[in-house]
């Protein structure tokens, strides 16, 4: 949720959607808050996602709005169950 009073942009992908974001990251945590796995976001299309001329895909999130990404699969390490 964008709790700011202004619209924000989050980079969701690079190279017109073909490369993962260098700014947004998903983290899978256990019940104690330990990081089990991470995955860089890569979403080039979708609601509120805009492709810019510089090759970046961004989610434009208005003030007070919520952005919901496309579903992702985060690989879980063998010992992380």
3-state secondary structure of 50: strand
- DSSP type of residue 42: -
Cα distance from N-terminal residue to C-terminal residue, the chain? 29
Positions of the chain with pLDDT lower than 70, given as ranges: 80-81
| pLDDT for 78 | 82
| pLDDT for 80 | 55
Which whole-number Å values give the CA distances from 73 to 8, 27, 42, 50, 57, in the listed order? 25, 11, 11, 22, 20
Handedness of CA 45, 71, 48, 2 (dihedral sign): negative
| pLDDT for 76 | 86
What's the pTM value of the predicted model, to 2 decimals?
A: 0.87
């Amino acid at each position: 949720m964008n709790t700011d009073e202004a619209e924000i942009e989050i980079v969701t992908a690079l190279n017109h959607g073909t490369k993962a974001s260098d700014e947004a990251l998903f983290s899978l945590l256990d019940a104690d808050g330990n990081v089990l796995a991470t995955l860089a976001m890569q979403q080039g299309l979708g609601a509120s996602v805009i492709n810019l001329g510089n090759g970046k895909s961004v989610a434009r999130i208005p003030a007070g709005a919520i952005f919901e990404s496309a579903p992702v699969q985060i690989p879980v390490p063998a010992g992380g169950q």
